[in-house]
Structure 1
Amino acid sequence: MKKVNVIMPKFGLTMTKGTIVEWKKKVGERVEKGEVIATVESEKITGEVESPASGILVEILHDVGDEVPIGEPIAIIEVEE
Protein backbone atom coordinates (compact mmCIF):
# COMPACT_ATOMS: atom_id res chain seq x y z
CA MET A 1 0.00 0.00 0.00
CA LYS A 2 1.12 3.51 -0.80
CA LYS A 3 1.02 6.29 1.81
CA VAL A 4 0.17 9.91 1.01
CA ASN A 5 0.91 12.82 3.34
CA VAL A 6 -1.77 15.41 4.05
CA ILE A 7 0.13 18.68 4.40
CA MET A 8 -0.72 21.93 6.16
CA PRO A 9 -1.96 24.16 3.32
CA LYS A 10 -1.22 27.84 2.80
CA PHE A 11 -4.45 29.87 2.69
CA GLY A 12 -2.94 33.35 2.46
CA LEU A 13 0.20 35.11 1.25
CA THR A 14 1.42 35.89 4.77
CA MET A 15 0.39 32.60 6.39
CA THR A 16 3.38 30.72 7.85
CA LYS A 17 1.58 28.29 10.15
CA GLY A 18 -1.89 27.05 10.93
CA THR A 19 -3.68 25.80 14.03
CA ILE A 20 -5.73 22.63 13.80
CA VAL A 21 -9.26 23.46 14.97
CA GLU A 22 -11.09 20.19 14.24
CA TRP A 23 -10.56 16.76 12.74
CA LYS A 24 -13.65 15.77 10.71
CA LYS A 25 -12.37 12.18 10.25
CA LYS A 26 -10.92 9.65 12.65
CA VAL A 27 -8.06 7.21 12.21
CA GLY A 28 -9.33 4.12 10.40
CA GLU A 29 -12.06 5.92 8.47
CA ARG A 30 -12.24 5.96 4.69
CA VAL A 31 -11.75 9.32 2.98
CA GLU A 32 -12.37 10.36 -0.60
CA LYS A 33 -10.17 12.69 -2.63
CA GLY A 34 -11.40 16.25 -2.12
CA GLU A 35 -13.35 15.42 1.03
CA VAL A 36 -12.86 17.80 3.95
CA ILE A 37 -10.92 16.03 6.69
CA ALA A 38 -9.88 18.92 8.96
CA THR A 39 -10.41 22.58 9.73
CA VAL A 40 -7.45 24.88 10.37
CA GLU A 41 -7.09 28.56 11.12
CA SER A 42 -4.40 31.18 10.79
CA GLU A 43 -4.30 34.71 12.15
CA LYS A 44 -6.65 35.92 9.41
CA ILE A 45 -8.62 32.99 7.98
CA THR A 46 -10.22 29.66 8.77
CA GLY A 47 -10.03 27.05 6.03
CA GLU A 48 -10.75 23.43 5.29
CA VAL A 49 -8.14 20.79 4.53
CA GLU A 50 -9.19 18.40 1.77
CA SER A 51 -7.92 14.88 1.32
CA PRO A 52 -5.34 14.68 -1.49
CA ALA A 53 -6.29 11.05 -2.23
CA SER A 54 -8.91 8.39 -1.61
CA GLY A 55 -8.05 5.76 0.98
CA ILE A 56 -7.92 5.12 4.72
CA LEU A 57 -6.80 7.75 7.22
CA VAL A 58 -4.12 5.74 9.03
CA GLU A 59 -2.44 8.38 11.18
CA ILE A 60 -3.12 11.85 12.55
CA LEU A 61 0.21 13.53 13.28
CA HIS A 62 -1.03 16.65 15.13
CA ASP A 63 -3.79 17.17 17.67
CA VAL A 64 -6.46 19.87 17.83
CA GLY A 65 -4.82 23.07 19.04
CA ASP A 66 -1.40 22.27 17.56
CA GLU A 67 0.30 24.97 15.49
CA VAL A 68 1.85 23.45 12.39
CA PRO A 69 4.18 25.13 9.85
CA ILE A 70 2.97 25.36 6.24
CA GLY A 71 3.97 22.31 4.20
CA GLU A 72 4.43 20.00 7.19
CA PRO A 73 2.48 16.71 7.17
CA ILE A 74 -0.53 16.67 9.49
CA ALA A 75 -1.91 13.22 8.61
CA ILE A 76 -1.23 10.12 6.51
CA ILE A 77 -3.63 8.37 4.14
CA GLU A 78 -3.02 4.84 2.89
CA VAL A 79 -4.15 4.32 -0.69
CA GLU A 80 -4.34 1.27 -2.92
CA GLU A 81 -1.89 1.39 -5.78
Structure 2
Amino acid sequence: MSRINVIMPKLGMTMKKGTIVEWKKKRGERVEKEEVVAIVESEKLTGEVKAPTSGILVEILHDVGDEVPVGEVIGVIESEES
Protein backbone atom coordinates (compact mmCIF):
# COMPACT_ATOMS: atom_id res chain seq x y z
CA MET A 1 0.00 0.00 0.00
CA SER A 2 1.12 3.54 -0.63
CA ARG A 3 -0.06 7.03 0.24
CA ILE A 4 -1.30 9.11 -2.68
CA ASN A 5 -1.88 12.86 -2.41
CA VAL A 6 -5.12 14.55 -3.41
CA ILE A 7 -4.23 18.01 -4.71
CA MET A 8 -6.05 21.29 -5.34
CA PRO A 9 -6.71 21.29 -9.09
CA LYS A 10 -6.27 24.23 -11.45
CA LEU A 11 -9.77 24.94 -12.80
CA GLY A 12 -8.83 27.80 -15.10
CA MET A 13 -5.79 29.26 -16.82
CA THR A 14 -5.36 32.07 -14.29
CA MET A 15 -6.45 30.21 -11.16
CA LYS A 16 -3.88 30.51 -8.37
CA LYS A 17 -5.97 29.26 -5.42
CA GLY A 18 -9.32 27.67 -4.72
CA THR A 19 -11.75 27.32 -1.85
CA ILE A 20 -12.96 23.98 -0.55
CA VAL A 21 -16.76 24.11 -0.72
CA GLU A 22 -17.57 20.56 0.40
CA TRP A 23 -15.93 17.27 1.25
CA LYS A 24 -17.99 14.44 -0.30
CA LYS A 25 -16.10 11.83 1.73
CA LYS A 26 -15.10 11.73 5.38
CA ARG A 27 -11.77 10.71 6.86
CA GLY A 28 -11.62 6.92 7.06
CA GLU A 29 -14.10 6.33 4.23
CA ARG A 30 -13.36 4.16 1.22
CA VAL A 31 -13.06 5.90 -2.16
CA GLU A 32 -12.91 4.53 -5.68
CA LYS A 33 -10.57 5.84 -8.37
CA GLU A 34 -12.15 8.85 -10.15
CA GLU A 35 -14.85 9.18 -7.47
CA VAL A 36 -15.59 12.77 -6.43
CA VAL A 37 -14.09 13.41 -2.99
CA ALA A 38 -14.46 17.20 -2.79
CA ILE A 39 -16.00 20.25 -4.46
CA VAL A 40 -13.84 23.35 -4.91
CA GLU A 41 -14.36 26.76 -6.44
CA SER A 42 -12.30 29.64 -7.72
CA GLU A 43 -13.49 33.15 -8.48
CA LYS A 44 -15.73 32.04 -11.35
CA LEU A 45 -15.59 28.24 -11.58
CA THR A 46 -16.74 25.29 -9.48
CA GLY A 47 -15.14 21.91 -9.98
CA GLU A 48 -14.84 18.40 -8.64
CA VAL A 49 -11.76 16.87 -7.07
CA LYS A 50 -11.60 13.19 -8.02
CA ALA A 51 -9.71 10.45 -6.23
CA PRO A 52 -6.48 9.64 -8.08
CA THR A 53 -6.65 6.04 -6.80
CA SER A 54 -8.89 3.62 -4.90
CA GLY A 55 -8.37 3.24 -1.17
CA ILE A 56 -9.13 4.90 2.16
CA LEU A 57 -9.18 8.67 2.65
CA VAL A 58 -6.81 8.77 5.63
CA GLU A 59 -6.18 12.52 5.88
CA ILE A 60 -8.11 15.71 5.19
CA LEU A 61 -5.62 18.56 5.43
CA HIS A 62 -7.92 21.52 4.74
CA ASP A 63 -11.42 22.25 6.00
CA VAL A 64 -14.47 23.56 4.15
CA GLY A 65 -13.98 27.27 3.57
CA ASP A 66 -10.19 27.07 3.44
CA GLU A 67 -8.50 28.87 0.56
CA VAL A 68 -5.75 26.63 -0.84
CA PRO A 69 -3.08 27.31 -3.50
CA VAL A 70 -3.28 25.27 -6.72
CA GLY A 71 -1.15 22.14 -6.48
CA GLU A 72 -1.19 21.97 -2.68
CA VAL A 73 -2.12 18.69 -1.01
CA ILE A 74 -5.64 18.78 0.44
CA GLY A 75 -5.99 15.11 1.38
CA VAL A 76 -4.24 11.74 1.38
CA ILE A 77 -5.51 8.33 0.24
CA GLU A 78 -4.00 5.06 1.44
CA SER A 79 -3.95 3.27 -1.91
CA GLU A 80 -4.77 -0.38 -2.46
CA GLU A 81 -2.96 -0.35 -5.80
CA SER A 82 0.65 -1.45 -5.93
What is the TM-score with the length of structure 1 in the denominator?
0.97
Residue ranges of structure 1 left out of the alignment (5+ in a row): none
C-alpha deviation, 1:64, in angstroms? 0.2
CA distance in 1, matches of 2:11, 2:33: 19
**Alignment of 1:63 onto 2:39:** no
CA distance in 1, matches of 2:66, 2:11: 17
Please give the root-mean-square deviation of Cα atoms over the aligned residues, in Å: 0.6
CA distance in 1, matches of 2:73, 2:33: 17
**Alignment of 1:10 onto 2:13:** no
Number of aligned residue pairs: 81
C-alpha deviation, 1:42, in angstroms? 0.2
Detail structure 1 runs of 4+ shifted over 4 Å in the superposition.
none
Residue ranges of structure 2 left out of the alignment (5+ in a row): none
C-alpha deviation, 1:69, in angstroms? 0.2
Q: Percent identity?
A: 75
